[in-house]
Amino acid sequence: MNSLNPYGAWTLFLRETRRFLKVHMQTVVAPALTALLYVLIFRYAMGSRTVPGLGVDYLTFLIPGLVMMAMLQNAFANTSSSIIVGKVMNVHIYLLMAPLSAMEIILALVASAVVRAFIVAAAILAALWAFVDIPLSSISLVMLYGLCGSMLMAGLGIIAGIWAEKFDDIALISNFVIMPLTFLSGVFYSVAQLPPFWQQVNRYNPFFYLIDGFRHGFVGVGDTDPYASIDLVAGATGLCMLACWLLWRMGWRMKP
């Protein structure tokens, strides 16, 4: 039997968390500032228009989407950069050498990424509080979608990190997969405003459900039924975790 090593997993969690806190200007403050700029720009650009179909003030609609987008991107960045930095600098071997199971490693990496996502979310909301009223319809929806979304992205970050061989590979995935998918999943507009074809396409975009469900938790309305999409979102998250665990156990692209 392989013995459990909860203290080791806890140490790894703390190591990952301290790593992003050490560069908090870049990992926490910068995302909050970016969100603040978006809100300021859109306030001037859009005035106090409401979103057609939902009857919500545009800024109130926009903010939860921005928060979720930042959570997703930061969760992805945390795990993917940790693994790729490790591989490029050849320090990933210390993780491989430690008596930690694949499960413990994945859990610790994901937990730290989730913590980063929530810290970033809190920072953005704190920065915006002063400018806009932010309603809160269901804290449990917010937490559930926030958790699922950041876990899913942390998992995708792990897979990307395992697959990548250099920093450029991660930048490639970030810029050409993650960014477009999050931008196009209804952060800036209601999907109901889209032509029917693109509405249909969005049905297959997992980020769409994540952002819509998360926003639902704040504003109380949305394009989908967030309680019905929970299964889908939780299922996708579970599958992603499973994939991470299997890949790590195999040592794919980590161990020659």
Partner 1 sequence: MNEAALQVLGLRKVYANGKTALAGVDLQVAQGAFHALLGPNGAGKSTLINILADTVRPTSGLAKMLGRDVFRERSWCKRHLGVVPQEVAFDPFFSPVEILRITSGLFGCRPDESWIRELLERLGLAEHAYKNTRQLSGGMRRRLLVAQALVHRPALVVLDEPTAGVDVELRRSLWSFMRELNRSGTTILLTTHYLEEAEQLCDHVTIIDGGQVVADRSMRELMEVVAGRYLFLGYGDAFELSEADARALSAFRPRVMSGGVCLHLGGQGGEDLGFHRVYEAAVSRLGIPRKVEIRQEDLEDVFIRLTGHARKEKSTS
Residues contributing to the site for partner 1 (CB under 8 A)? 1-5, 7-8, 10-12, 14-15, 18-19, 22, 86, 89-91, 93-101, 251, 255-256
* CB closer to partner 1, 88 vs 172: 88
Q: What are the two backbone dihedrals, phi and then psi, of residue 108, each rounded to the nearest 5 degrees?
A: -65, -45
Minimum distance, C-beta of residue 136 to partner 1, in the bound complex (Å): 36
* CB closer to partner 1, 91 vs 179: 91
Of the candidates 51, 226, 246, the residue with the CA atom closest to the CA atom of residue 148: 226
CB 252 within 8 A of CB 162: yes
Q: Let me know how many helices (H) and strands (E) the chain has, helices first.
A: 12, 2
CB 61 within 8 A of CB 99: no
Minimum distance, C-beta of residue 256 to partner 1, in the bound complex (Å): 6
Minimum distance, C-beta of residue 172 to partner 1, in the bound complex (Å): 23
Of the candidates 161, 143, 163, the residue with the CA atom closest to the CA atom of residue 151: 143
* CB closer to partner 1, 7 vs 44: 7
- In angstroms, rounded to a whole number, what is the distance separating the alpha carbons of residues 214 and 103? 28
Minimum distance, C-beta of residue 251 to partner 1, in the bound complex (Å): 6
* CB closer to partner 1, 90 vs 140: 90
